[in-house]
Amino acid sequence: MSKLVSMHDAIAAHVRDGDSVIIEGFTHLIGFAAGHEIIRQRRRDLTLCRLTPDLIYDQMIAAGCARKLVFSWAGNPGAGSLFAFRRAVEGKGPPLELEEYSHFGMVARLSAGAAGLPFWTLRNYGGTDLPVANPRIKSVTCPYTGEVLATVPALRPDVCIVHVQRADIHGNAQVWGLLSTQKEAAFASARVIVVAEEIVDEAVIRADPNRTIIPGLIVQAVVHEPWGAHPSYAQGFYDRDNDFYVAWEQVARDEATLARWLDEWVYGVKDRAEYLARQPDLRARLTAKPRPSGSVDYGY
């Protein structure tokens, strides 16, 4: 049975007030369209989890969706600061609870969640203040070697949203380019929404099964949303909109300017199609130049 629904319906059905949510993607394939729909549906008290909150969580924090942030690097990649985040933490805005790790710590938390284990071990955090700031970073003594290893608890979000290049209507999802922690996040989460640049026939998936990172069996909803990762990028589809990331510094620095941006580009549009229709230059500016791979032979 098809799981294909609109973004509106996917968010309405699967993201609830108070949920812990992970919108995946590391620089690549960040689910901006999904984040904007969550803002439009005015979800509240979310625990937002991501290695890099990026602009999408800064927008969601500014819109009042977030109660708590679980993260490892909160900057504007290549450009500067996340100002809504900073205002909250520096006592100049609505408060935001923090649970902070390093990238490896977040990766380890998701690995534990995806493996169905309560925690994960890593050789890390010795000589740092991170376990002081975050008492959930603990340690364990290896029963085989006696080495003391750091531990982090499993992260098991209520909802994971992954943006992918292509998927079938059952949610079998294929990604190429940077992989982030999409697979671990999806397996760690109770519900998974796959958002795809292209919906393809199941035969396309079956012709190249090594490229599938998320199987349909763990997916509740599939959304077709071309350019749904803008201003981040989708390898082979469109480039990162670096100009947007740079310009965001000036938008987000001032609370009122940021609120006006949300009014115009999130609340002021019905959906991603309308967001795109207002920016007719995007395709000419960012569409990827082709660089097809060779293909492999799955014969036997």
Partner 1 sequence: MATEYSPKELMACVAARELRDGEVVFVGIGLPNLACNLARATHAPNLLLIYESGAVGAVPVRLPVSVGDPALVTGSLMVASMAEVFQSFLQNGKIEVGFLGGAQVDRWGNINTTVVGGDYAHPKVRLPGSGGAAEIAVNARRTLIINALSPRAFPADVDFVTSPGHRYHGTSRAALGLPGAGPVRVITDRGILEPNAATGELELAAIYPGETVDGVRAQVGWPLVVRDSLGTVAPPTAEELRLLRDVLDPKRLFLKG
**Binding interface with partner 1 (CB under 8 A):** 26-28, 51-52, 71-75, 77-78, 81-82, 85-86, 89-91, 100-104, 107-108, 110-111, 122-130, 132-133, 147-148, 176-181, 183-184, 233, 235, 239-240, 242, 245, 288, 291
Nearer to partner 1, 205 or 213 (CB): 213
User: Residue 271 CB, nearest distance to partner 1 (Å)?
Assistant: 26
User: Residue 264 CB, nearest distance to partner 1 (Å)?
Assistant: 25
User: Residue 230 CB, nearest distance to partner 1 (Å)?
Assistant: 13
Residues facing 166 on adjacent strands: 174, 198
Distance between CA 175 and CA 168 in Å, rounded?
12
Nearer to partner 1, 91 or 280 (CB): 91
Nearer to partner 1, 187 or 275 (CB): 187
Nearer to partner 1, 32 or 104 (CB): 104
User: Residue 176 CB, nearest distance to partner 1 (Å)?
Assistant: 8
Residues in the chain: 300
Nearer to partner 1, 226 or 268 (CB): 226
Nearer to partner 1, 91 or 143 (CB): 91
Tokens found for residue 63: 């819109």
Q: What angle do CA 180, 19, 130 make, to 5 degrees?
A: 55
User: Residue 55 CB, nearest distance to partner 1 (Å)?
Assistant: 12
User: Residue 129 CB, nearest distance to partner 1 (Å)?
Assistant: 5
CA dihedral 36, 40, 44, 48 (to 10 degrees): -10
